Amino acid sequence: TLLNMVKLNITTRWYITRNSDGWQDKNALCIDRAKLFVISFSAKKHHKGGDNLPTHKSTAKSVRQQERRHQRNVAHKSRLKTAIKKVVQLTESNDVEAAKGALKQAVPIIDKTCSKGVIHKNKAARHKSRLTLKVNAMAVKVEGKKETE
């Protein structure tokens, strides 16, 4: 239930609506604790139903394609993060052989994520370089400890 509706002189499409939950509306200006926050709920790239449904067939198809690509990219990023975390954890635990094995598994995952266009090639190179440096530094540190003992 709308208690009141106020039209502001900023532009004709911005409204403040007040209902029982407080100030909220799509494309609304929200006043909270004497501050002015602009809340804009534009159509999401991975939109699932709601008020802003596409009106053209081509737009509907585009939304479906974006959703599929989004899901695929999320899966690739998740695999990438898991592989990187595994290498980092093994380097922190000073397990040389396991860390080298995890690095060998992580490099193709990083390359594949890059080739799919999920991350930039420079970011892929930076990840591979830093992980390799960590594993090599850890291996030298562990070998140094063995020699002193």
pLDDT per position in the chain (149 positions), as tens?
333 444 443 444 444 455 555 554 444 444 443 334 444 434 444 445 555 678 899 999 999 999 999 999 999 999 999 999 999 999 999 999 999 999 999 999 999 999 999 999 999 999 999 999 999 999 999 888 878 77
pTM over 0.85: no
Tokens 């030298």 map to which residue? 140
How is residue 51 annotated by DSSP? S
- At 55, which helix (H) or strand (E)? none
Render pLDDT for 79-106 as a digit per residue (tens, 0 to 9): 999 999 999 999 999 999 999 999 999 9
